[in-house]
Amino acid sequence: SFFNALKLGLKVELDSDRWEYSEEPHVSRRREILAKYPQIKQLMGSDPWIAVIVTCEVAVQLGFCHVIRVTQPNWAVLLLVAYAVGATLNHSLGSAIHEIGHNLAFGHKRPWANRLLAIFCNLPIAIPMAISYKKYHTDHHRWLGHEDNDVDIPTKTEARLFRHPLTKLLWLCAHPFIHGLRPFIKSPKPTTPWELFNFTVCMTFDLSIYVLFGWKSLCYLIVGTLFGFGPHPLAGHFISEHYLFSGGQSTHSYYGPLNVLLFNVGYHIEHHDFPYIPYRRLPEVRRIAGEYYNSLPHHTSWLRVLWDFITKDQLGPHARGVNNSNCTRPELYEAVQKDMARRIELVATSNREKSKAYELDS
């Protein structure tokens, strides 16, 4: 059943009770759809065209930095441009980082090329996040709905504090900080060399913008990021994807025009069913296997999503489907775990035999 999630709010209210739901829907749905429509496998692969699009977006952002340096607009105009243009482009680049994080630009055989392109997208965003996002987003797919391991799920503190419309609005405004810091608090991982490289490149770019274009241009980029991932219509996709708008349905798609700006991130059920199909081919998945998607509740307006999230009592950070078991882990990870355990045991057995042989020789 696709309707199987329980709210984080219920977990908060019944904290002493043990509970779980027993199925992550995307794994079984993927298997069933592929058995019925094996041609969907042909849609999997990479799509380097995204590199052309993000290069144009980065160039446009640099162009606006130049215009701001020349015109020196007042702060009111700067904030308006940052909200209308900077936020839109930076959020689009953020969605490109999501797409590239699945190695969908240059394929799984060129992970370094995908990482470099993601860091390139990260430049106008001005806050280093591309590599860290990929690291934690992998857990979101692997542990979808797991209360602890899926860092996309709000914490219990968020679920308790942000229940009133005003506090939910505050939560949305602070979302860039909350969403960015939550993974490091909820499930900290060692910093990787790629993350350090991402940080160094991003800080160097920020310094270069300041030196070449001035303080206002740098503010345009940073404020655009804070607007774009906070109180902005495009940020509605953060809410629309996994909050429980329809009973216990734990994933929703959005089929509206703003998908054009965000690399079809709205096709979210399709994306979780087939995370290795590039964004341009996700509508084809829905066309081929329409009986699996057309009847499911979906969104057509991210503005409506944000309005409902703020005004309706049943919605808020607490309205996420969660579980506390390992049921969301695909069989692949079980197989890998068993294979690694087998390999470790073989090595350990070999070492023990060598040790015994050495002792006998001695």
For residue range 94-125, what is the model confidence (pLDDT) as tens digits?
A: 999 999 999 999 999 999 999 999 999 999 99
pLDDT at 205: 98
Specify the residue for token string 């699009």. Answer: 53
Quick one: average pLDDT of 161-174? Answer: 96
Percentage of the chain beyond pLDDT 90 is 72
What count of Cα atoms within 13 Å lies in the side-chain half-sphere of residue 233? 17
What is the structure's pLDDT at 273?
Answer: 94
Closest by CA position to 78, among listed 214, 184, 241, 242: 214
Domain ranges of the chain: 18-328, 331-361
| pLDDT given at position 144 | 85
Q: Please give the sequence-ordered ranges of beta strands (E in DSSP) within the chain, or none if there are none.
A: 6-7, 321-322
**How far is 338 from 142, CA to CA, in rounded Å?**
17
**Is the overall model pTM greater than 0.75, yes or no?**
yes
Selected residue with higher pLDDT from 285 and 249: 285
pLDDT of residue 202: 98
- Higher pLDDT residue, 57 or 245? 57
Residue 149 has pLDDT above 90, yes or no: no
d(C-alpha 130, C-alpha 134), whole Å? 6
CA–CA dist 120, 55 (Å, integer): 8
Find out whether 8 and 154 touch, Cβ atoms under 8 Å.
Answer: yes
CA distance 113 to 132: 16
pLDDT of the residue at 248: 74
CA distance 231 to 83: 9
CA-wise closest residue to 186 among 157, 228, 165: 157
Q: 276-286 as b/e, with b when 16 or more CB fall inside 10 Å? A: ebbbebbeebb
189 pLDDT above the threshold of 50: yes
pLDDT tens, residue by residue, 33-92: 999 999 999 999 999 999 999 999 999 999 999 999 999 999 999 999 999 999 999 999
**In terms of pLDDT, which residue wins out, 286 or 148?**
286
Show Cβ contacts of residue 183 under 8 Å, excluding neighbours closer than 6 positions: 132, 136, 151
233 vs 25: which has the higher pLDDT: 233
Mean pLDDT of the chain: 87
Answer yes or no: is pLDDT of 17 > 50: no
Residues whose CB falls within 8 Å of the CB of residue 331, separated by 6 or more in sequence, listed in order: 27
What does the alpha-carbon distance between residue 297 and residue 358 come to, in Å, rounded to a whole number? 67
**Higher-confidence position of 181 and 28:** 181
Task: Tell me the two tokens of residue 237.
Answer: 């996709």
Q: How confident is the model at residue 143 (pLDDT cuts 50, 70, 90)?
A: confident
189: left (phi over 0), alpha (psi -120 to 50) or beta: beta
Question: Which pLDDT score, from 0 to 100, does residue 19 have?
Answer: 33
Q: Which two tokens stand for residue 122?
A: 């990260």
Task: Please report the pLDDT score of residue 320 as a whole number.
Answer: 87
Answer yes or no: is pLDDT of 142 > 50.
Answer: yes
pLDDT of residue 16: 38
Q: Average the pLDDT over each of 5-19, 42-56, 58-72, 282-296 and give the range with the smallest value.
A: 5-19
| Angle separating helix axes 175-186 and 165-173, nearest 10 degrees | 80
pLDDT at 167 over 80: yes
Structure tokens at 194: 């790629």
Q: Token match 């910093």: residue?
A: 191
What's the confidence (pLDDT) of residue 138? 87
How much is the pLDDT for 250?
Answer: 84
What are the distances in angstroms from CA 197 to CA 105, 128, 203?
Answer: 20, 10, 10
The whole-number pLDDT of residue 148 equals 81
pLDDT band of 28, cuts 50, 70, 90: confident
pLDDT value at 212 more than 70 = yes
Cα separation, 68 vs 124, whole angstroms: 14
